[in-house]
Chain A
């Protein structure tokens, strides 16, 4: 039996036993429910809330403005409802009652309660300017056709330097649930590794196992097996989550959606490799399940901090915190995917960040393997890292 056979057997056991556990099904469903909540709730409560303005028209001079206001409002993402007011006094009363947002008096004056909405004022001004220009041009005896050409020239085409807003919005809409999922998987499966290691210690299975395979094989098989469980769960949740999001039209699937998901998978693998070996050491130095929580605290805290950095990167992907933390190996797995989704990270930045994380993993793996080997057979009191280090010959 080769080294790889041993690793494969251990990994296969982790994968088959853990996916058969009821807890796997439960955690999958719970995560899905939470995730779908994040997708569905904004859709139900916050979408389609276009601003509606009520505008009162007083006098014949205001009448021609009604239609242009109604047709132009959607250009600024709003809607205008036009009301006829009998006279200025009625309009003032309606403004005070909040029934009107703005009144136009005879096409010559705008009336508001206090600070009128800037966008609304700009909209009305534009409509009024158009109407007055139309009148002036008609008085100068221009033909209908000439007036139309002068006042409604074809709009200027817009060329954007970066992805258009709706696309970015959609990418960010994916980024939040994605980073939440990533955080959950990293902390959840990292902790699973720690608990799995201490379970083998507490039940002394580790002695039986290590009489036939070496500690490094057991460690590698365990980490790979549990990682595969996490990956399978990630694929299930990601797939269903995306299907739900598209199904209820919460997200217009932007072209970058699959790239974002690919990033999530890549960073799950990198982040898991980084953290799982540390969690394994946290499990190896103690002998009882209750103690794992204490020794895992440093990793959990760093993961929470990374998550907070990722949340701040959602709103400010180019800020110094987001930029620096997207290069640091402990925080990069959660922050970099956000910056990528927000379109704030260029290709070389991603490559550098991946390489830095890989380098950190390359340092951590042999280090952790040695500590694990030196500690995993010592039961009783918590094993000091220094004595685990010297007890093991690597």
Chain B
């Protein structure tokens, strides 16, 4: 398990990370989300030892993460990091060796990931000669080439076409299935929701929510139902007891409204009330999306 404990980082008077703690289990796919400048990159850099925290620590399998453990981690920085003039194969072999593989193992592993990423025909080209999408694939191969025991990826999906997204998602799922904790940041919340078991939401350097997506959905939230009633008065739901209309559903093209139910309210009673008002054409439980949770978490 990878644990971040009370991580704090200041630049002069600016606090970019303020007492952030969460943990990522082995084999867990973990999404790290937050607005720009929230501190995601700082946290990831600290995990990889690229930055020192002013306070707090990072534990890997219960022990402080040392250089030995870091060398076994795979890291993909936000703004990418490859030598533009170096050839793809040489670059991957070099990075594999830097992470502790011997020469023949490095060569073998570089070959494997070049194939897996569909880069075989470009293996002898300089990185700068590749398209951005292909450079991104090389970057991912660079994070994977030493068979890391944990993956920390900063915005790995940005700039990828849908096919690239699928390839990357597939690789990450495989790694997680093999027991590797995978933590990645992304602004593509639908993707995070689809892939990740657990997420952490960070805002202005502080952790505002973390846990499994299901936990976040249920935590501190009332049940919501969507209802469409044909031929009803516009204000039929205004005086329902035990439920109230949420603004955001008003003006929906289908005349659908979103109701938030009080804790003791039976949704069947609401359905009865709706049927009295007109013909019910739609009645369904509404799950907040991660995007909803995100907006709710980061709005003041």
Contacts and interface: CB of A to CB of B under 8 A. Distances in A.
Contacts, number: 63
Contacts of A6: 98
- For the complex, would chain A's binding face be called helix, strand, loop or mixed by DSSP majority? helix
Interface string A1-27: 100001001100100010001000000
B79 A204 contact: yes
A209 B90 CA distance: 15
30 contacts: A1-B71, A6-B98, A9-B98, A10-B98, A13-B94, A17-B83, A17-B86, A17-B90, A200-B83, A203-B83, A204-B77, A204-B79, A204-B80, A204-B81, A205-B82, A205-B83, A207-B48, A207-B50, A207-B77, A208-B75, A208-B142, A210-B50, A211-B50, A211-B70, A212-B71, A212-B95, A212-B98, A212-B99, A214-B67, A377-B50
Interface of A: 1, 6, 9-10, 13, 17, 21, 199-200, 203-214, 377, 393
B159 interface: no
Which residue, of B51, B70, B97, B98, has the highest number of chain A Cβ atoms within 10 A? B98
A205 to B, nearest CB: 4
A199 B98 CA distance: 19
Contacts of A205: 81-83
Interface string B82-120: 111110001000110111100000000000000000000
Interface residues of B, number: 29
Contacts of A21: 85
Query: What does DSSP make chain B's interface, helix, strand, loop or mixed?
Result: loop
Given A211-B48, A211-B73, A211-B75, A206 B81 contact: yes
A207 B83 contact: no
B217 interface: no
Contacts of A209: 81, 98
Contacts of A393: 52
B144 to A, nearest CB: 12
B98 A213 contact: yes
Contacts of A211: 48-50, 70, 73, 75
A209 B99 CA distance: 9
A197 to B, nearest CB: 13
Nearest to A18: B85
Nearest to B68: A1
